[in-house]
Structure 1
Amino acid sequence: MRTGKRELQRLIAYEAARILTELRSDNVTYACQKAAAKYGITKRQFLPTREEVESALREQQRLVRGERQTDTLRTLRLSALNAMQALIQFNPKLVGAVFDGTADSNSCVKLHLFADTPEDLLFTLSDLHIPWQEKQHRLQFSDGRKESVPCFIFNADGVGFELVVLPAKNPRNHPLDPLDNQPIQGASIKQLQQLVDTPG
């Protein structure tokens, strides 16, 4: 019996969600590719959307973790909100699992910040007495350019943070999601406050 495209996408989405849970990862692109390989799928058109994988992951988390999942997500979002308020001059945007609601206790808070130079952020982190480590994060942008951008990592009160520094001079040149080549979605301070204030 042939499996239709929609059914394949659903199967891959649920398998990708299982992989993300098993690996304690939030790399949706990798999980989709690994899940697709299990079903012998190589064409991008058969991959589920990010929203479908996130929906499958949230469903699994509700079944397995119940209320603990809701409490963990709220705690992480409050930590994100505090950090964003401390870094408000960089127009922070919350992205990743804490934004989309699939975060668990192993997730870190991922922020996109906009600065003229990475040093601007480093001065602020120093003023806040935050020790950090630096790595490079490769992104593709909406103008077609691929570039490695600085990412600063630290822990605060048991929560991991990843701060990706993007150029302030061209904020409309959005970084793209590698799964669907669409602009990475996120929340401003105001939008995150609304998420925190909304039960469930």
Structure 2
Amino acid sequence: MGKRAIGFQREIVAEAARLICEERLTDYKQAKHKAAERLGLSARSQMPDNALIHEAVIEYQRLFGGAEYAGHLQALRRTAVRAMKLLRDFNPRMVGAAVSGAVTDAHRVRLHGFADKPEMLDMFLQDRNIPYETNDRRYRYPDGRIEDVPTCEFMAGDIGIEMAMFPVEDLRRAPLSPHDGLPMKRLTLEQAERLAEEPIELASEGEAYD
């Protein structure tokens, strides 16, 4: 790749990260194409990998997100822990942006649960009078399979929670992350508890404006 193309990619990465953080975009592909358009670049330009966007979002929030970002990320992580305790019968795992820190106020807690039948979660929530909505999320697996996995979405205070329900045998067979193409990082309750207690690192004022 030539120096000019590398320069274009860096510009797209920076602008896409800004759009995600400031305009509440959650779709990286949309953010990249919108960034290219804003920069006057061709839609046929070679787009950067999602992994670069993901890291740039974390860095942008570290530099400019401030206390609002730190508070929201910590709230997501602590809410995830409470939800996992409530849903411990489903062997919950914490996944997604709240694990890495690449979050904006558009993000919700995302969990993976496991049961013989996905409707067991519906019954669990109904028995506790917890309002929820059903949906599905598409996942890609290392063997090339693409599957739509059923989800339940509900609220914990003002924070949304989405739990995708996988077959029990998928507990040790994680789908691929859309950000880096590797098996998704799934945190157990104990790991999520430790993460929720870690301080959120932010840039100093001088560093943010260098």
TM-score by length of 2: 0.81
> Unpaired segments of 5 or more residues in structure 1?
none
Post-superposition offset of 1:97 = 1.9
Tell whether 2:42 aligns with 1:40: yes
Mark the CA change 1:62 to 1:129 in structure 2 (over 3 Å): closer, same or farther.
same
Q: Secondary structure at the match of 1:171?
A: helix
Query: What one-letter code is carried by the residue in structure 1 that aligns with 2:119?
Result: E
- Separation in 2, partners of 1:9, 1:113: 37
Please identify runs of 4+ aligned residues in structure 1 that moved more than 6 A.
Answer: none
RMSD: 2.4
Mark the CA change 1:82 to 1:49 in structure 2 (over 3 Å): closer, same or farther.
same
TM-score by length of 1: 0.84
> Unpaired segments of 5 or more residues in structure 2?
201-210
Post-superposition offset of 1:132 = 0.8
Post-superposition offset of 1:99 = 1.5
Q: Does the 8 Å contact 2:110/2:162 carry over to 1? A: yes
Mark the CA change 1:93 to 1:10 in structure 2 (over 3 Å): closer, same or farther.
farther
Q: Map residues 62-101 of structure 1 onto 2, 5 A cutoff.
A: 62-101=62-101
Q: Map residues 60-139 of structure 1 onto 2, 5 A cutoff.
A: 60-139=60-139
- Separation in 2, partners of 1:5, 1:172: 39
Q: Does the 8 Å contact 1:177/1:183 carry over to 2? A: yes
- Separation in 2, partners of 1:154, 1:28: 24
Post-superposition offset of 1:130 = 1.0
Mark the CA change 1:178 to 1:81 in structure 2 (over 3 Å): closer, same or farther.
same
Q: Give the aligned length.
A: 197
Post-superposition offset of 1:196 = 1.5
Post-superposition offset of 1:16 = 1.7
- Separation in 2, partners of 1:89, 1:47: 40
